[in-house]
Amino acid sequence: MRGSAAFRTGVAPGGALAPGWVKNELWRKARAVPSLDLRFADNKSLVDATTGASLVTFTRASSGTFVGSDGVLRSATTDEPRFDHNPTTGESLGLLVEEQRTNLLLRSEEFDNVAWALFGTASRTANTTVAPNGTTTADSVTLPVSSGILQFGSGSANTAYTFSIWIRCDTIQSVRLVINTNLGDPTTLTVTATSSWQRFSITKTTSVGTLAVTSQVDTGGGNTFYLWGAQLEVGAFATSYIPTTTAAATRSADVASITGTAFSSWYRQDEGTVFSEAKGITVFDENTRRYWEISSGSSANRLLSGYGNSTQTRFFVVRDGIPSANIVSFNQNLNLYTKSISTFGNNYYRIFSNGISGQTDNSGNLPSGLMNSLSLGTQFGVDVTTLNGTIKRFTYWPVRLDDPTLQSTTQ
């Protein structure tokens, strides 16, 4: 009996209380043993550390890039999860979950191609050094003052565009990134290139009348820079690199979820505690950029956690389409990973983040529908809520943990 699913989780298939739950509940509260523990950063896999089972279904209808532990940019095939790393330190960052994006630039690694135009007295040479992906495909471009390299493309009004590119130089030198439009209203950013590869980005929201967008690197003071991996995408921030050749290319959305019996094997319907350690690329309101969502497969009945704003983590509960609980913790740091934990039961909701107590709600009812799915880094089936970042860990306990445990778990 000790090795059975009922003993480990306290729940039978479908989420009902298993026989002997009272005894198991006391045992679990004393031990604080999770029924699901996904350690993405530590294990670099989707396997549950508690049971060894592969419960997560992961899909992405395209390839995608990520940074390996050696700092080299690598490519994952269709439906292959990406476990990202800090390119400088090699730190394991966890599961990368991004929305769909398209690189609008052509020949993203071929700055000697006619898709890229030179102006002034700029010059270029193809394939002169090793690129961030470990291949000798980075090009050298010499950029005197009032000289540069650019690519034209069609554009739309009232749209945020982000231009990103890897740049390196043999010495420390300044160079300028530019997004311009047919209106002649450039947005510029001067950056400092060093002997190490860095990916820089600049964002511009276009004005009424915009028909074209230009991505440009210029005014390098006569110095030679190495360029690689140019990307122009619609959005207010850069996402992982999408290589292109003769046409624009799209990276599909990452979808990581647990449904069906894989979900009911660890979830308890009437109470529980959820922990996540995650970081998004940017912040939007509480309706987007989610760490996780547990739902009935629709937005009518669900529990979710994500960014509230730049300093808040939010725990939000919906019952029959109406908000039932909405509480926040005020200790979120945008530049660091947020350790957030939420505990719930009927008329009881509690949240902690980074070791600091947040709000409590003693009035909200649980969702009325049967919870049957977990979505990691997004809402079930909705791309626009995607975290656009990495999840180091997701853990679930089928009991409400006490405050000292909530606090210590997030420290």
- Tell me the per-residue pLDDT of 272-316, one tens digit each, with 9 for 90 and over: 999 999 998 765 544 457 899 999 988 899 999 987 776 788 899
The pLDDT value recorded for residue 381 is: 67
The pLDDT value recorded for residue 25 is: 53
pLDDT above 70 covers a percentage of the chain that reads 88
- Tell me the per-residue pLDDT of 123-166, one tens digit each, with 9 for 90 and over: 999 999 999 999 999 999 999 999 999 999 999 999 999 999 99
Q: Residue 158: which region, alpha, beta or left (left: phi > 0; alpha: psi -120 to 50)?
A: left
Average pLDDT of every residue of the chain? 90
Same fold, 5-61+254-409 and 102-251: yes
Contact criterion met (CB below 8 Å) for 94 and 377: no
The pLDDT value recorded for residue 30 is: 46
Q: What is the DSSP string of 170-184?
A: SS-EEEEEEEEETT-
385 pLDDT band (50/70/90 cuts)? confident
* Closest listed residue to residue 268, CA positions, set 1, 29, 65: 29
373 pLDDT band (50/70/90 cuts)? very high
172 vs 331, residue with greater confidence: 172
- Tell me the per-residue pLDDT of 206-241, one tens digit each, with 9 for 90 and over: 999 999 999 999 999 999 999 999 999 999 999 999
Give the angle subtended at the CA of 17 by the CAs of 16 and 22, to the nearest 5°: 170
pLDDT above 90 covers a percentage of the chain that reads 81
Contact criterion met (CB below 8 Å) for 162 and 232: yes
Contact criterion met (CB below 8 Å) for 148 and 219: yes
* Closest listed residue to residue 307, CA positions, set 335, 330, 288, 331: 288
The pLDDT value recorded for residue 168 is: 98
| Separation CA 317–CA 156 (nearest Å) | 37
| Separation CA 100–CA 252 (nearest Å) | 4
What pTM was estimated for this model as a whole?
A: 0.91
2 pLDDT band (50/70/90 cuts)? very low
Q: Where are the domains of the chain?
A: 5-61+254-409, 102-251
Give the angle subtended at the CA of 189 by the CAs of 185 and 192, to the nearest 5°: 160
Supply 102's token pair.
């398209």
- Tell me the per-residue pLDDT of 86-96, one tens digit each, with 9 for 90 and over: 999 999 999 99
* Closest listed residue to residue 336, CA positions, set 409, 410, 257, 236: 410
* Closest listed residue to residue 11, CA positions, set 1, 24, 2: 24
Q: Residue 9: which region, alpha, beta or left (left: phi > 0; alpha: psi -120 to 50)?
A: alpha
The pLDDT value recorded for residue 12 is: 42
| Separation CA 11–CA 21 (nearest Å) | 8
pLDDT at 256 over 70: yes
Cβ partners under 8 Å of residue 185, min gap 6: 207
| Separation CA 132–CA 381 (nearest Å) | 33
CATH number for region 102-251: 2.60.120.260
Q: How far is Cα of residue 171 from the mean position of the Cα atoms in its chain?
A: 33
Contact criterion met (CB below 8 Å) for 315 and 328: yes
Pick the CATH number of 5-61+254-409 from 3.40.50.1260, 2.160.10.10, 3.30.450.90, 2.60.120.200: 2.60.120.200
The pLDDT value recorded for residue 31 is: 54
10 pLDDT band (50/70/90 cuts)? very low
Say which DSSP state 335 is in: T
